[in-house]
Amino acid sequence: MDANQKTPAETDRIVHVETRAVSCDGGEGVYGHPKVYLRIADKQTVCPYCSRTFILLPGAGPDHH
């Protein structure tokens, strides 16, 4: 595998979103982690439990919720 290629597990850890407010539960059902609510301040945020990275898509506007 090339050093720049990502494994399927690493690819699953990157989620592109359209809103600044996101939640994460690890995505493993009962084997996940407690649900946490995160806010994207700039362009991305990382879940403190599973290191899943949420990246704000270009053109996504500010949330007013």
Residues 6-41 have pLDDT tens digits of 444 554 789 999 999 999 999 888 899 999 999 999
Q: Which two tokens stand for residue 25?
A: 């539960």
More confident residue, 40 or 5: 40
The CATH number of domain 8-56 is 1.10.1070.11: no
* Domain boundaries, given as residue ranges, for the chain: 8-56
Interacting residues of 36 by C-beta distance below 8 A, sequence separation 6+: 23, 24, 25, 47, 48, 49
Q: State pTM to two decimals.
A: 0.74
* Cβ(35)–Cβ(25) below 8 Å: yes
Burial of 47 (0-12, 13-18, 19+ CB in 10 A): buried
More confident residue, 29 or 46: 46
Question: Other CB atoms closer than 10 Å to residue 51's CB: what's the count?
Answer: 10
